[in-house]
Amino acid sequence: LRFEDFLDKELSIDETASYYHRGVCIEGADSFENILDFIDWLPKIGMNSFFIQFENPYSFLKRWYEHEFNPYLNKEKFSNELVQELSDRLDKELQKRGLIHHRVGHGWTGEVLGYSSKFGWESGLSISEEKKPYVAEINGKRELFNTAPILTSLDFSNPDVADKMVEIIKDYAKKRPDVNYLHVWLSDARNNICECENCRQELVSDQYIRILNQLDRALTSEGLDTK
């Protein structure tokens, strides 16, 4: 082709995306304006989805507004109420642009133990005796892994664990019909799998699939089309 061809001739381009899900998962330290600009930019470059980890983006906003990794800046005003307000506004911006809404991921294991997923990697916590039967046994002990709920695996041979997790996820899906793809992940750590006698007889992948199948039945019975 000659340069003149681009001036004199018509050019028709017909493109099809290689992947259905084309988006980004929130990470790092983010201001509200940064996330909003990013959401606004996505459809302009052919992206169609955005993934907000956890119940809301508390952890990522906290890193920015409290400047956790920048000793040269003073902490700004920050609270749970502010985060929820900003989170709700971001949800509306996703809907406004027709972006596919992905949500949560890690955190369900902590929810079973009574800790909200919105606080991400919070640590320095302990588990009550009442909840210890739900926690993975490691080296003969049942404790929070590195004192963080999100890093803690569960005893998936305990039927109460699956029942509680499925109930929590189902209730969340009922409250959040705007979430198109609700991610169900296990703990956010390694070398933390339950070593109790019953769990030693199964693969974690088999336990995981069993919970997902139970969840699928629960969502179907509620008439929810959440993926």
pLDDT-above-90 percentage for the chain: 77
Q: Which of 105, 136, 152 is the last residue of a domain?
A: 105
Quick check: is 216 in a domain?
A: yes
**pLDDT beyond 70 at 1:** no
Cα dihedral 60, 66, 72, 74 sign:
positive
Q: Within this chain, do residues 131 and 204 fall inside the same structural domain, yes or no?
A: yes
The pLDDT confidence band at residue 100, using thresholds 50, 70 and 90, is very high
Quick check: is 2 in a domain?
A: no
Q: Within this chain, do residues 148 and 100 fall inside the same structural domain, yes or no?
A: no
Q: Region 130-155: what's the mean pLDDT?
A: 94
Quick check: is 117 in a domain?
A: no
> Tell me, what DSSP letter sits at residue 143?
-
**Domain limits at 193?**
127-177+188-227
Q: Residue 205: is it exposed, middle or buried by C-beta count within 10 angstroms (0-12/13-18/19+)?
A: exposed
Q: Within this chain, do residues 99 and 58 fall inside the same structural domain, yes or no?
A: yes
Segment 188-207, tens digit of pLDDT: 999 999 999 999 999 999 99
> Tell me, what DSSP letter sits at residue 51?
E
Q: What pLDDT does residue 10 have?
A: 77
**pLDDT beyond 90 at 118:** no
Please indicate, yes or no, whether the overall pTM of this predicted structure exceeds 0.95: no
